[in-house]
Structure 1
């Protein structure tokens, strides 16, 4: 695909010029592509036009109808939708079909659609258009200067879209570190495979994001509530951590937030913000999916519950008055010791969260026959997205060394990391309980780790309970698992029956 200022046609159209659509449009123009744009909101068109003219004259064509959009595109037309997930996606596609869309034209859903909806759309529009999807991570700034892109659908469509997506995506250098916009590097644009897989990978990304944010918040709470550190001091600690193995976008912005003063009271801004967290649903989708496919992701689920609990502000205020609490008096110990324990606990819990996320993708990939490439997915998350972190370079290497790695915790490098930090992690969880501070994310991650390394769980008793009250049967350890047994519990003497 070439870009020339004299070309009579645009390379791509963007329908929806809100925050994300406008940012993607300007990013495309930065990289030399010509874009036709349409939005029902005339102010969005006007704003995009004004900002596009600052970058380059003539590379953006504002259109006032879908028919005009189609007229500015060569065949096969490439049209990106930047509209809210849900029925509006189908509404816009129906309007495009009525405006003259052809079966070979490529329509790309760049919104946060549920992955199963994407699969359904791919089937529904077969023979009418080439439906494609690209999940976009990185927010407004990512879309504008380099997002992480997770594309899925028809491979022929990907080959056509790939030059544009590689151009606008975030880039990393040979060491896996992000580079500045418009610099050369390896693009964080990943083709994940069949339709729906890209939106699925983005959903799990967001589930990991929920958990990663929660872990950082729990460390902040511990340092603030138990140790009594000021927000700015905690921000300094986070800045120092960001220079090592915990280096990440979320750690960086958390440090920045904690150092910010309130413009009105001159108090730390974070202490002036109401402790009620919102959510848009992708974390919930991830937690639900983990239950549906039977793949445990407890720390991701706990992060969703934590947001739900935060919304119960009045109930929590009542609980502070009604619920008696008995805790240990905080032991005076070197601050450096506590900081080291929290650092290691955060790192180990973070690793467990990623292990849960990749295990969930592995399980669903096998069920859907997607054959996801986990090394490529980890590569694609190294820059541009919200969970970008230096840590992902090691995850990439783990899956490159063993594409069939059963669980990230079983990788030799990460196994050594947890072994060397494990006692600090345990001390952190124990102390948090003794001092009465909730750390559901870090605590559930430790329980996940301990369950994962336990060859015999108490599910033997649980299955016996199920057989007792519901005749659900059980397998024996000295017989093939496929052979089922049941005890006539109410009879004396009790007898075991082979089913």
Structure 2
């Protein structure tokens, strides 16, 4: 059987780490793929890996050397998946496919981390040329290979065509327990369970949800890193000791992918010095934009997301390594006292609860942001469904997400996750340890921006009266911005002719 006689089910463009693994995942699930990349080396690599892993004896991945050849190898109407960097590369591929003869009823699926507004604009731009469908993918290279979480959005017609494929390759969850059904071997297929793929909404909605997912991911990672910092610098524990603690925590309510990989990172030793590799990694972090986009969006829609924003700031300040090195010799901290073994045990428990509580607040911020954005953009988002598809296959997959799913099952109109009875109870029972853990870190001079901002968020949400009354007075004093009064009907605006000299005031109903 020769390649030019094969009509493939799916075209695939972009064979980097994510693209290659998605191709192999599709192949495992019975689809034939015509694959193209600007690098022929990558095309040959994915073909070779398919041949090595394929037990059917029939090729499943066919290499193409041009966009025209790619289209010629596909069944009509064409279905083409893109795994290329966000931004200009997506448009360039789209233009190339138009030049190669793509048709109006063909579907192009953008699986990259595109900014959601770009996706909305592209759907309009190319609607006469083809159907642009987007499907954000989470789970990294392992998820892409063995089952990612998928957040598709766009044309419902396109979703009807894509759905069987996406549900086949997605991660699966046991519906009774909410736990992942793990697939770890090439050729392995899991047909049972709930797929972690669900239609999100119109164009842009899926990429917006993935953006918020990544913002929560930023916060979750930073929360764990701050706990590591306290255990390392505050309690003087070794990497192996911290790994033991994290491993124990991972057997309880903190069970998550991020906690699991943190254990592995902490245990890994350098091959040349047998030193924990984490101690040799330069403490300068980068960020690709999605966390920043989430923080910016929270400001635009007026939704407080301080823990997500603080996680972005933490990465930013880490990049100023030279400044921090200089400041460490000039800016004074405080003298710290040794910690007894009994105190260590208490502090470890406090840190556990601090992580758990801060994590609840980070997710609450993310879900409230999606709720407000949906209202602003006219989307109908199913938050219970979103929580479900994050239970496996993605970076923030965690046992904790089952509780979020159940919260939205109880009340689909839940305004804020913290107001669900389960979360209210958990926070109430653990908040004292949360506060004590942060107090210890503060008195040790150890920064805990994410843990602390989450606590400030919790205290702000539960505070009936905030000092914004004084703030409104200040604004009215210097800018006549007006204010409402607690003793007058809602919605009426007032202004005072302030006088700091004789304190005389004149109220003016605006």
For Structure 1 versus Structure 2, the TM-score category normalised by the shorter chain is: over 0.9
**1:255-266, aligned counterparts within 5 Å?**
255-266=263-274
SS of alignment partner, residue 103 of structure 1: coil
**Is the Cα–Cα contact under 8 Å of residues 235 and 339 in structure 2 kept in the other structure?**
no
- Relative distance call for 1:352 and 1:369 in structure 2 (3 A) is same
Contact kept, 8 Å, 1:226 with 1:330, in 2: the verdict is: no
Aligned partner of 1:27 in structure 2 is 25
Work out which of the residue numbers 466, 479, 486 in structure 1 matches 2:475.
466
Deviations, residues 162-221 of structure 1 (Å, cap 9, x unaligned): 111111111111211111222222110121011101111110010000000000000010
1:53-452 equivalences under 5 Å are: 53-54=51-52, 55=54, 56=56, 57-174=58-175, 175-181=177-183, 182-183=189-190, 184-332=192-340, 333-452=342-461
Task: Kindly indicate whether residue 509 of structure 2 is the aligned counterpart of residue 498 of structure 1.
Answer: yes
Root mean square deviation of aligned Cα? 1.5
Does the Cα contact within 8 Å between 1:203 and 1:286 map onto a contact in 2?
yes
The TM-score, its normalising length taken from structure 1, stands at 0.97
Q: CA deviation at 1:312?
A: 0.7
- Cα displacement (A) at 1:489: 1.4
Scaled by the length of structure 2, the TM-score of the pair is 0.95
Q: Deviations over 1:271-305 (max 9, x none)?
A: 11111111111101001111111100000000000
Query: Which residues of structure 1 form unaligned runs of 5+?
Result: none
Distance in 2 (CA, whole Å) between partners of 1:459 and 1:31 is 56
Kept in 2: contact 1:330–1:435 (CA 8 A): no
Residue-by-residue CA offset, 1:443-485 (whole Å, 9 max, x unaligned): 0000000000001100000010000011111111112332111
- Can you list the C-alpha shifts for 1:225-245, whole angstroms capped at 9, x where unaligned? 111001100000000000000
Query: SS of the residue aligned with 1:195?
Result: coil
Query: What is the alpha-carbon distance in structure 2 between the residues aligned to residue 362 and residue 203 of structure 1?
Result: 14
SS at match of 1:112: coil
1:74 deviates by 2.2
The range that moved more, 167-176 or 356-365, is: 167-176
Cα deviation for residue 362 of structure 1 reads 0.5
**Count of aligned pairs:** 495
| Residue aligning to 2:41 | 43
Residue aligned with 1:83, SS = coil
2:216 and 2:363 in contact (8 A); partners too: yes
Structure 1 residues 476, 146: CA separation in 2 closer, same or farther (over 3 Å shift)? Answer: same
Please give the alpha-carbon distance, in whole angstroms, between the structure 2 residues aligned to 1:58 and 1:264: 41
What's the CA shift string for 1:328-387, capped at 9, x where partnerless? Answer: 525534322111101001100000000000010001011111110000000000011000
Q: Indicate conservation of the 8 Å contact 2:223/2:451, yes or no.
A: yes
Q: For the residues of structure 2 that align with 1:187 and 1:127, how far apart are their CA atoms?
A: 32
Unpaired runs of at least 5, structure 2 = 184-188
Tell me if the contact between 1:327 and 1:436 (Cα under 8 Å) persists in the aligned partners.
no
Aligned counterparts of 1:330 and 1:206: Cα–Cα separation in 2: 38
| Matching residue within 469, 487, 491 for 1:478 | 487
CA distance in 2, matches of 1:480, 1:94: 57
> Is contact 1:112–1:199 with CA below 8 Å preserved after alignment?
yes
Q: Is the alpha carbon distance of 1:351 and 1:191 closer, same or farther for their aligned partners in structure 2, counting shifts above 3 Å?
A: same
Shift of 1:250: 0.3
Contact kept in structure 1, 2:4 and 2:73, CA below 8 Å: no
For the residues of structure 1 that align with 2:482 and 2:106, how far apart are their CA atoms?
55
How many angstroms apart in 1 are the aligned matches of 2:12 and 2:316?
Answer: 35
**For the Cα contact (< 8 Å) 2:150–2:198, is it kept in 1?**
yes
**Cα deviation, residue 393, structure 1:** 0.6
Which stretch of structure 1 is more off in the superposition, 73-82 or 285-294?
Answer: 73-82
Q: Which moved more, 1:323-332 or 1:234-243?
A: 323-332
Note the alpha carbon deviations across 1:123-164, whole angstroms, 9 max, x for none: 111222111000011111111111110000001100100111
- Once structures 1 and 2 are overlaid, which stretch shifts more, 257-266 or 379-388? 257-266
The answer to whether the 8 Å contact 2:255/2:400 transfers is: yes
The Cα of 1:62 is off from its aligned counterpart by: 1.1
CA distance in 2, matches of 1:48, 1:103: 29
CA distance in 1, matches of 2:338, 2:206: 47
Counterparts of 2:410 and 2:140, CA distance in 1: 32
Find the aligned partners of 1:348 and 1:409 in 2 and give their Cα distance: 10
SS in 2 for 1:190: coil
Higher mean C-alpha displacement, 231-240 vs 86-95: 86-95
